[in-house]
Chains A and B, each alone.
Chain A
Amino acid sequence: MSEDPRNELVDHLPALRAFALSLTRNGATADDMVQDTVVKAWTNIDKFKPGTKMRVWLFTILRNTYYSSRRKLNREVADVDGVFTATLSVKPDHDGRMQMSDFKQAFELLPDEQREALILVGASGFSYEEAADMCGVAVGTVKSRANRGRAKLTELLHLDEEGPMELTEPATMAVISGAGTVPQ
């Protein structure tokens, strides 16, 4: 008798929750989505095809849950509570590269579809084919969403300008050098 695939669920929860957080940008909503996904997966485990990646299946359920609730609420503007940007203390970048907090803030501004494409292919290690499968679109669509997302981040973070990685703003420099209050 083969092992119950449901035993594998728990291993995917951290990744599933990370995906939910990047999609919803709201801690409470993300955890509700993960809970819904776990219940759906548990009760529909017969629909899981053994031999396929469970993580792909779970991510698909989660994103369907997210988009159908977004449609139901008929809301394009999500309730963002900043949990995403608040998740980590800012690590100082000694080599003067862009600050993590700036990156997260810019990332939160991207449309759902672009954020999703970037997380799936840029960060969580899925192939373009797997991501396209999950999103129910063509591979080219995922690619163009990811590229548009990168272009938007480039614009928001001024990455294509001369000396973009330097922290040259007087306010930032003042904070770094511990100069105290920033002149108004």
Chain B
Amino acid sequence: MMRLVPLVMSFFEKRDREDMTDNKSKDDERIADLIDQNLKMVYSDLVQEQLPDRFKDLLDVLKAQDAEQKGNS
């Protein structure tokens, strides 16, 4: 009977340790998900920002330059 005690103890210790590692990795996963959710929110807010006019203007200038070059050659 007495010999069983250390065995039982080690069983519980092992189980607790496993539980802890389990919880730890679950926690890590939950934190990583939370971070990625926030990243997506931040990024999609930036994507949805109004695009400054200068980029449309720039593309128009580039197109016009090309057309001019084609006309000259």
Partner-B contacts on A (CB < 8 A): 9-10, 13-15, 17-18, 21-22, 31, 34-35, 38-39, 42, 84, 87-88, 97-98, 100, 103-104, 107, 118-119, 122-124, 150, 153-154, 159-160
B41 touches A119 (CB 8 A): no
For the complex, would chain B's binding face be called helix, strand, loop or mixed by DSSP majority?
A: helix
Since A31-B52, A124-B43, A150-B32 are in contact, a sample of 13 more A-B pairs with Cβ atoms closer than 8 Å, ordered by chain A residue number, is: A14-B48, A17-B51, A38-B58, A38-B62, A98-B38, A103-B38, A107-B42, A119-B39, A122-B35, A123-B39, A123-B44, A150-B31, A160-B31
Q: A14-B48, A14-B49, A39-B62 are in contact. Are A123 and B43 (CB under 8 A)?
A: yes
Choose from A9, A38, A123, A154 the contact partner of B31 (Cβ within 8 Å): A154
Neighbouring A residues of B51 by C-beta, 8 Å:
13-14, 17
Task: Report B-chain residues with C-beta under 8 Å of the C-beta of A104.
Answer: 42
Chain B residues with CB under 8 A of A10: 55-56, 59
Q: How far is the CA of A9 from the CA of B40 in the complex (A)?
A: 23
Given A34-B55, A154-B31, A21 contacting B38 (CB threshold 8 A): no
**Contact pick for B42, options A13, A38, A100, CB 8 Å:** A100
Within 8 A of A (CB), among B38-70: 38-49, 51-52, 54-56, 58-59, 62
Nearest-neighbour CB distance to chain A for B27, whole angstroms, equals 7
In Å, the complex CA distance between A22 and B47 comes to: 11
B49 pairs with A87, CB closer than 8 A: yes
B65, closest chain A residue (CB): A42
Please, which residues of chain B bring their CB within 8 A of the CB of A31? 52, 54
CA distance A120 to B59 in the complex (A): 26
Contact B46 A18, beta carbon cutoff 8 Å: yes
Contact (Cβ within 8 A) A22 B43 = yes
Give the distance in Å from the alpha carbon of A82 to the alpha carbon of B73 in the complex. Answer: 48
